Amino acid sequence: MISILDHISQDKLDKLCEQHYAHVLKPSFSPHIIRDELKKVISIHGYNNPTQVNIVSYILNNFKSIISSKPINLENHISYFKSRGYDKHIEGHINKPFRVALLNAFAYEKFRKWDSAVKLAQGLDLKSCPYCNAQYTLVTKQKSKNKLAFQLDHFYPKSHYPYLSLSFYNLIPCCSVCNNSKSNKPTNMKGSYHPYSRESVSDDFSFCTDNLDVVKAYVKGKTKFSVKINDEEKLSVKAKKHLDDYSIKKLFERHDDIVEEIVWKKFVYVEEYKKQIRTDFGPTLFLNEYDLERFIIGNYTKKEDTHKRPLSKFASDIARDLGLIR
């Protein structure tokens, strides 16, 4: 739903990625440890599988790129693994010990519990789930310790690509509902929106309600509001897949009460009234038009602020569709 690049520059992301790599190089995460860990498992098999030895060599030779590459280059590693048939030596029941060894060597579970995961999340300053924008993703203080009140999704699932389990651009802060919906389904940038790419599903669809419901509300009072997607049948395959994967429509249908409140506001905040508010409070309370819009709909309306509060895209789309905001 949200592109992280809407509120953070690529330069800042690159710096965060450098910090992440520096952390991974610390003794407990160093490639030497990975080598030692993997050698242990390979030695159990008596070095009978030269491909797995090659996989370990490839990981060690490309360690920095595997940890720090942007998503499209991570997919180059995946393609290389496929072209050499490496993936077949990682997947399946028979390769479980090797797969688990790779995961243990990268020590993702350790990383998840450490301050480094907190630092990464704080650096990203992402306050709501980039997949649904329906839940908060906050770092909270609990008993003087910072805690992540969300999950980290592996865009390229670690069960298929354990060697990408610590890659910076593969770690996506998100809500537990979206993480569970996505599960271990293999994903790629061609078929799915990557929150670290500039492309955003937010630009490709918008919410609306039935105009007839709005008229009914004005004429008859109380009515039930529907939640719709504008021109749903014309959406791209990728956008449809996103809405499907995260059950976006079903999820937002539960928020029809917000649609109702926005319809009320549409009737109350007519242009004359807004003009009066600007005159009375403009210079002190509302520094710009976005502040006034935020006051009226009770949520952020600027694209780069979408992440700051759950349901901001939903509320803005409905308000825009009704002509309440620009």
- Site residues for Zn ion per CB under 5 A: 129, 131-132, 175, 178
Nearer residue to Zn ion within complex by CB, 69 or 170: 170
Nearer residue to Zn ion within complex by CB, 120 or 129: 129
Nearer residue to Zn ion within complex by CB, 124 or 178: 178
In which residue are the tokens 């997919």 written?
Answer: 75
Nearer residue to Zn ion within complex by CB, 175 or 229: 175
Cross-strand bridge partners of residue 253: none
Least Å from the CB of residue 308 to Zn ion: 15
DSSP for 224-278, please give it: PPP-EETTGGGS-HHHHHHHHHTTHHHHHHTTHHHHHHHHHHHHHS-HHHHHHHH
Nearer residue to Zn ion within complex by CB, 104 or 128: 128
Least Å from the CB of residue 96 to Zn ion: 30
For residue 124, give the amino acid letter.
L
* Beta strand 207-208 pairing with 228-229: antiparallel
Least Å from the CB of residue 126 to Zn ion: 11
The answer to whether the CB of 3 falls within 8 A of the CB of 200 is yes
The helix or strand, by DSSP H or E, that contains position 22, with its residue range, turns out to be helix 10-24
Least Å from the CB of residue 150 to Zn ion: 9
Distance of CA 157 to the CA centre of its chain: 14
Nearer residue to Zn ion within complex by CB, 63 or 131: 131
Q: Cα Rg for the chain, rounded, in angstroms?
A: 24
Nearer residue to Zn ion within complex by CB, 213 or 245: 245
Residue 161 CA to residue 191 CA, distance in Å, equals 17
Output b/e per residue, 13-30; b: 16+ Cβ within 10 A.
beebbeebbebbeeeebe
Nearer residue to Zn ion within complex by CB, 73 or 184: 184
Least Å from the CB of residue 193 to Zn ion: 13
Least Å from the CB of residue 174 to Zn ion: 5
Least Å from the CB of residue 195 to Zn ion: 11
Nearer residue to Zn ion within complex by CB, 245 or 317: 245
Q: Encoding tokens for residue 216? A: 């009914």
Give the largest Cα separation in the chain, rounded: 81
Cβ neighbours for 62, distance < 8 A, ≥ 6 positions apart: 77
The torsion of the CA quartet 322, 206, 251, 159, rounded to 10 degrees, works out to -160
Determine phi and psi for 283, rounding to 5 degrees. -70, -25
In three-state secondary structure terms, 284 is coil
Least Å from the CB of residue 128 to Zn ion: 8
Least Å from the CB of residue 246 to Zn ion: 7
